[in-house]
Amino acid sequence: MKNSKIEWCDSSWNPITGCLHDCEYCYARKIANRFKGCIEDESAPITASLNGMQTGAVIELDAPMKRKTEGGEIITAPYPFGFQPTLHRYRLDDPKKWTKPRTIFVCSMADIFGDWVPDEWIEAVFAACEKASQHRYLFLTKNPKRLCELANKKKLPKNENFWFGSTVDTTKSRLYPGRLRDNTFISIEPLLEPLNVGIGSFGGARWIIIGAETGNREGKVIPKKEWIDNICEAADITHAAVFMKDSLLPIVGESNMRREFPWENITT
């Protein structure tokens, strides 16, 4: 069942890929650029080869494109246009095919709520999730303002199995979605500086995920244990569950690792 390396979900599903936020530490951009390209693009200009449509900075694909591997094998191109925002419309029915319930991270290779993403794409993804209600869907954004805008337009679903989260990495990431819906969470990853959070800092968020930066980027930040303790203390005040990613293990130690899920009320 578990086919994602991300510890807090079972699977990731990417009907939309690509992102324009340009975070320095972005792993998704590296992966997308590593596996970018498609045969159609080699033989024709991008605009002529699309089997969907291209509008400004975003692309829609109705059917998958093909890519040739280094070994000459022809496979489905996962990121035909690298990290350029792309709707893979043909992936929208994937959750319906997975009969066993999963916890799914929606669009781990994009920011589905980036300002550049058309409302129609977001609505198409929500509709696809509603058609496969056996799963739990986790949506995560660096642009929680868009969640508020969608809520104001009555376009943000209230489904029990939809969880909306925002990423916080520095003290500048201040807009939390905590009071928008019952099921909200905050992903503090990578933790880049002390957040100095206190009572009520996390609003009504029910789950706090914490992770350190991974990889070997020059200037990589290793968080201090007291930064993490401070976040846990603030989470405990409002009874939010805490999930520490493996990257925190060397910092907090095995006995202090917390792996809580708000829907299970279980600590492992």
* Range in contact with ligand SF4 (rule: CB under 6 A) among 9-17, 24-32, 156-164, 207-215: 24-32
Per CB under 6 A, the list member of 111, 189, 213, 260 interacting with ligand SF4 is: 111
Among 17, 29, 117, 163, binds ligand SF4 (CB under 6 A): 29
Cα separation, 189 vs 142, in Å, equals: 11
Contact 188, 169 (CB under 8 A): yes
Tokens coding 178: 């905590």
Part in contact with ligand SF4 (CB under 6 A); list of ranges 4-12, 14-22, 236-244, 258-266: 14-22
User: Closer CB to ligand SF4, residue 23 or residue 175?
Assistant: 23
Q: Is 215 in the site for ligand SF4 (CB under 6 A)?
A: no
Tell me if 39 sits within 8 A of 64, measured CB to CB.
no
Tokens matching residue 82: 């690298």
Rank residues 23 and 46 by Cβ distance to ligand SF4 and give the closer one.
Answer: 23
Say whether residue 68 binds ligand SF4 (CB under 6 A): no
Contact between 73 and ligand SF4 (CB under 6 A)? no
| DSSP string for residues in 157-213 | ---TTEEEEEE--STT-----TTT-SSEEEEE-S--S-----TTTTTT-SEEEE---
Rule CB under 6 A: say whether 36 interacts with ligand SF4. Answer: no
259 binds ligand SF4, rule: CB under 6 A: no
Measured CA distances, 213 to 124, 125, 135, 245 (Å)? 32, 29, 29, 10
Distance CA 138, CA 116 (A): 20
Number of residues in contact with ligand SF4, rule: CB under 6 A? 9
* Residue 28 binds to ligand SF4 (criterion: CB under 6 A): yes
**Interface ranges with ligand SF4 (CB under 6 A):** 19, 21-23, 26, 28-29, 111, 142
